[in-house]
Structure 1
Amino acid sequence: MRLLTIGLLELVAGLGLTRAALFADPANLPSDREYEYIIVGAGPGGSVVASRLSEDPDINVLLIEAGPNDEGVLGIEVPYLGYTLQPDTAYDWNYTTTPQTGLDGRVIVYSRGRVLGGSSSINLMVWTRSSRDDFDRYASVSGDDGWSWNAVEPYFRKIEHLVPPVDHHNTSGQVDFDIHGHIGPVNITVANVPFPIDPHVYGTTQDLSDEFPYNEDMNSGDPIGIGWTQGTYGNGMRSSATSSYVRPVLTRPNLDVLVNTTVTEVITTGEDVEGHVPVFAGVQVAQSSTSTSFALRATKEIILSAGAINTPQILMLSGIGPSLHLASVGVETLVDNPTVGQHLADHPRVSNQFGVATGEDDLYDAIARNSTLFDEVLAEWEAGKQGVMANGGSNHIGWLRIPEDDPVWLTEEDPSAGPTSPHYEFLFRPGFTSTVTGTPVPSTGYFITISAVVVSPSSSGSVTLSSGSPFDFPTIDPAFLSTSFDAYAMRTAIRSVGRFVSASTWDGFITGQAASFASVDLDSDEAVDAWARSQASTIWHPTGTARMGGCIDNDSVVDPDLRVKGTKGLRVIDASVLPFIPAAHPQAVVYAFAERAADLIKSGRQFC
């Protein structure tokens, strides 16, 4: 296979000749420039806010990213190659979790984007707005109707640029053109090429329509059903936060971007005279644990957009968090907030493999096993951004609920936001996939994989400091399948997968359960639960560790304006502020939160 990256030093040097706004060393930042805003983290939160705030030519903005630049990295540009970007790469934080009690004590590899674009540069690009009920719950919890579905939906249209698929097939019935934006910065589309399993997935929605209804466009606010995946791979290329919001505006003289630089803490400059709360007006940065540290000042705000793992870490290293925990690692408490780092929620995923009768229906494994074929399809992409490498991993996606008359509701409360929010998700892949890191593709046999994901979990974990050093990884405990409801929901989802492939459309196509999944008795609670515990992993959706709440809510970190409570000059705009995990792939939700937050900053709103 071809080399997937360009040498980092070569790339940065080349960019430096043409784009003075991008810096690879804090020592090279303009010494005479005063920044109104410093934004930490260049994912879907920070990139959006940096772009929108720098629209005002009188406002100077500095965007800081711990990882390298993403431009010119083939694995990032080519949608199909998203799976090569993590784990154990230069673009991943390469975190791991604590041993997970609900997963037989296994330690889970926990990838997060450490590159311009953040996780939007290494994710699998699924674009889901979430449900009407999810946003209405955000509005209810915060007390701000501006976070409701009806208020936020226009922001999705502002973000989106719905483009035709590169194969120019007729998309009638696959997407509702009228509900999407058409001039926004983020390119989205439906499948760029057909998969062999596509007609059978659709056929199941006809054969078993009561249980698996067809949904033409799950971004309408009501996602329930099976439909075509929308993804951020428009025009055959990944559309990341950087390519959409930052790179097009790097010529602005008032926007500077600093890469390869870690923010080690936010710096207080004393107390606000009126409110007697600490004022945060700067950040300390370094490129490694042994390099020189620099202090950078902002005259208006510091905005943390470092994500659900790094944002609470930075807050706690800065003295904002649970006082007893901070004291245990030698950090002085400035703001005692026990909620910082708590309420970590994520979506556990289990991949379930089935055999298929003919090799031509196992598209992904054919490419993985044949380097010549790999080079051919990559060459097709390079020649015209066409072919299978212009596509994401799944052409269809499903969102389903546990029925209202299920006996589980006699003993469990429903953790979902309401009837438009699913309890579990399906993802379909024409090939072998395992959720256990390092599992090789079998050398023989033909497969498809249907992943089951619990998307309205009741489990709640945490992010805590392992030490007072910003270069020591935090302790991450997503608490997967740690509640009876989550275990039940995963069992229900896996059994639902089994019913899905029982539809007549799969006759002669699927040969039955395959690989390790072949021995799982779907009629046995014990067998299904054991399979889930042995296989479940993250689908990379951590949220909630700096959650938003109402003005006088003591169990939250930020207010409805996303300002950090008990501080002045400090705000958080990323997935950590979501009070409940959306029953969706959350990148679209974070983009929308960031667009609205940018408007709140520009208007100077003080909700509380």
Structure 2
Amino acid sequence: MGKIYFNANDLGDKYYDFVVVGAGNAGGVIAARLAENPHFKVLVIEAGLSDTEPESDVLRTPFLAGLAVGTKFDWDYKTTPQAGLNGREIPFPRGYVVGGSSNTNSLVYLRGPSEDFDRLANISGDQGWSWTSLQKYIKMNERHVRPWNNRNDENDYNPAVHGDGPLQTTLVAEPTDLDQRVIKAANELQGQFRYNLDLNSGDGLGVGWIHTTVGGGARSSSSTAFLKPAIESRENIDLLVHYHVTRLLPAEGGSLDFRTVELAQDASSQRIILTAKKEVILCAGAIGTPQILQLSGIGPKAVLDRAGIAQLVDAPDVGRHLQDQPIIFYQWRVNSTTLSSFFRDPANVGASMAEYAASKTGFAAGVAFFSTIAFLRLPDHSPIIKAEHKDPAAGPNSSHYLYSFLNSYAPNPGQEPGPTEGDWISIAAVLQSPTSGESFFACLGAAADTMAEGSVEIQSSSAFDHPAINPAYLSTAFDLNTMITTFKTTAEFFSAPIWTGYIAEPDPEITGLTTDAAIEAYVRKYSTTVKHPVATARISKAGAIDGVVGPDLCVKKITGVRVVDASVLPFASAGFPQAQIYILAERAAALIKEKWSN
């Protein structure tokens, strides 16, 4: 039906109604939904590789989730030296493949609190982005399915908050002893650790099960759930693979119509020109979208001048306000069998992979390491939330940090691989509501001079040179002190009776974390990215002078260009952005169809 191209010269038509830049999380949804109208002709351009390339099993096999980092399916970005991380430059993974990061992430599908969406509605001035208004798009996007072993999980989630969409999500096939203890501890402790039946319900706090984008024993991604089925069933959608969009071009000198797209395979190859009759839709992500806009002369003058690009449109917020969330791991030896001993014997892994290859069942058909999670807040009267600053979370039911519970030893980058004996568990702690990067928090009443601003800035006029990526991690007292709190609060969680006799001893490095200074040193030494960048083309009200896109996601000051990806989110997600971007894309597609179907 539709076609997949690897050579732009083979395209049968150089004029499409819509040109979607990026076949990732949002791009697949946008393209598939637009193609539902047979009168629309849609082209999707993906800079990365096909997700059927050799070695692409790393994308589809749930057990291998996350292992595409550092492979040919990764953009191989790095941050600038981070003062808050002892000057370290850290890898900054993004999916370089059809499906984008929805094909390379760790599979977590958690929408976050309703307050996240309500804040988006308030900031944009469009109540269509509120939690209540988005319900129909949530339901048409995702559906819960049973795990590979058909375990009856009806008591572990709320079917009323799930829908009947193409994206499949599931729960753990075989809950472990650790999983059961985490849920039991929640019931014993209550309070901030209370059990939450379904963390996709809009109730953003408590302890519960992790929903993952897995169905039928394989990853369910933007590619598998949306783009590929559309291409296979419709004639009006094409996919062009392994072409970079090098810039957007105005229709003519002085024009503000940027619906012409220049693309190429590499820095020295022929430039191809395509024009969208209706819209160019940027879905290149929080790094790629601001890079393309800046390369097109749309952005801050100082950044463009340094790269040798003439400014065509003064858009100061393009590439500014980058936010991401740091993650760190803590480890304990336990008096129970975990996956630590399982992984020490290569034969176990080999047998699991053989079973998966034969039937898409068994250990490798689901998420192996983590099944439970806790979304937590600082106490209401915590000194960390200073009286002169507003709480950075979206509301009183939104988290400041989270724990994910891992059934093995998970080393931090730079740590030793792990002990060669004993059984271990780990807690991954993530700062959910950072103030570093600035994002929208200056507008919420926080003093801008207390925040180091995050940014994505091109370094040359070439689309094939990586931009400078600066998330400004741990550059505020709030962020650092909250990360210190993540370790201190583990003792409170492990005080539940269910842990008695289970926890044996902490990792030797954890043993030394007895003061705030020691915890700070550990946090700065080992924190890395959880891979959730946002806010580099953030949304704002239609008449506001700040922001990059309006409430309809159209780029301000120009015509013919819309942005649908994580770059438009004005604040870090208190859930997981994968889920939020799927929902954002569903409504964006509806807005586009409504505009152009009349």
The aligned counterpart of 1:549 is: 540
The correspondence for 2:351, drawn from 349, 372, 376, is 376
Alignment of 1:455-474 (within 5 A): 455-460=432-437, 461-474=454-467
TM-score (norm 2): 0.93
Q: Residue 109 of structure 1 contacts residue 437 of structure 1 at CA under 8 Å; is this kept in 2? A: no
1:400 aligns with 376
Deviation at 1:367, TM superposition (A): 4.5
Q: How far apart, CA to CA, are the structure 2 residues paired with 1:317 and 1:444? A: 52
Query: Does structure 1 retain, via aligned residues, the 8 Å contact 2:306–2:459?
Result: no
Matched, 1:111 2:93: yes
**Counterpart AA for 1:573:** V
Number of the residue aligned with 2:403: 426
Counterpart CA distance in 2 for 1:118 and 1:189 is 21
Equivalent residues of 1:48, 1:594 under 8 A apart: yes
Distance 1:494 1:603 in 2: 49
Partner deviation per Cα, 1:361-388 (whole Å, 9 max, x = no partner)? 2x1x344432211111112222332222
* Residue correspondence of structure 1 range 317-328 to structure 2 within 5 A: 317-328=295-306
Identity of aligned residues (%): 41
Q: 1:98 aligns to what SS in structure 2?
A: coil
Establish whether residue 76 from structure 1 lines up as the match of residue 76 from structure 2: no
Q: How far does residue 605 in structure 1 lie from its aligned partner after superposition?
A: 8.2
Letter of the 1:40 partner, please give it.
V
Q: CA deviation at 1:322?
A: 0.2
1:578 CA displacement: 0.6
Aligned twin of 1:477: 470
Q: Which runs of 5+ in 2 are unaligned?
A: 438-453
Aligned to 1:16: none
The 8 Å contact of residues 260 and 274 in structure 2, kept in 1 or not, is answered as yes
SS at match of 1:295: strand
8 A contact 2:208–2:372 mirrored in 1: yes
**Distance (whole Å) between structure 2 residues aligned to residue 53 and residue 76 of structure 1:** 26
- Aligned-pair RMSD on alpha carbons? 1.7
Helix, strand or coil for the counterpart of 1:409? coil
Residue pairs, 1:98-177, within 5 angstroms: 98-177=80-159
* Of 391-400 and 410-419, the range deviating more from structure 2: 410-419
Mean CA deviation greater in 538-547 or 550-559: 550-559
Aligned amino acid, residue 546 of structure 1: A
Q: CA deviation at 1:210?
A: 2.3
Shift of 1:519: 2.5
Question: In the aligned structure 2, how far is the partner of 1:265 from the partner of 1:366?
Answer: 51
Give yes or no for contact 1:277–1:568 (8 Å, CA) kept in 2.
no
Could you tell me which residue of structure 1 aligns to residue 280 of structure 2? 302
CA distance 1:515–1:540, change in 2 (3 Å) = farther
Give the structure 2 partner of residue 526 of structure 1: 517
Q: Distance in 1 between matches of 2:418 and 2:46?
A: 34
Provide TM-score, normalisation by structure 1: 0.92
Indicate how the Cα distance of structure 1 residues 187 and 484 shifts in structure 2: closer, same or farther if over 3 A, else same.
Answer: same
Residue 501 (structure 1) shift: 2.2
Q: Judge conservation of contact 2:147–2:366 (CA < 8 Å) in 1.
A: no
**SS in structure 1 opposite 2:274?**
strand
- The CA deviation at 1:403 is 1.2
Q: Does 1:386 align with 2:361?
A: yes
Please name the residue that 2:591 is paired with. 600
The answer to whether the 8 Å contact 2:204/2:575 transfers is: no
Query: What one-letter code is carried by the residue in structure 2 that aligns with 1:451?
Result: A
Letter in 2 for 1:497: T
Q: State the one-letter code of the partner of 2:88.
A: R
What are structure 1's unaligned runs of at least 5 residues?
1-18
Partner of 1:568: 559
Q: How many residues align?
A: 576
**Paired residues of 1:192 and 1:236 also in contact (CA < 8 A):** no
Q: 2:486 aligns with which of 493, 497, 503?
A: 493
Relative to structure 1, is the Cα distance of residues 605 and 544 closer, same or farther in structure 2, using a 3 angstrom cutoff?
A: farther
Q: In the alignment, residue 54 of structure 1 is paired with which amino acid? A: A
- Structure 2 distance, partners of 1:121, 1:486, is 30
**CA positional deviation for 1:529:** 1.2
SS where residue 589 of structure 2 aligns?
Answer: helix
Code of the residue aligned with 1:585 in structure 2: it is F
Partner deviation per Cα, 1:89-124 (whole Å, 9 max, x = no partner): 111001110111111111111000010100000000
TM-fit CA distance, 1:573: 0.4
Equivalent residue for 2:448?
A: none
Q: For residues 352-371 of structure 1, what are the structure 2 equivalents within 5 Å?
A: 352-358=330-336, 360-361=337-338, 363=339, 365-371=340-346
Distance 2:587 2:19 in 1: 18
Contact 2:148 2:366 in 1 (8 A): no
**3-state SS, counterpart of residue 397 of structure 1:** strand
Q: Deviations over 1:408-462 (max 9, x none)?
A: 2344421011012111111111111133168524433421110111101111111
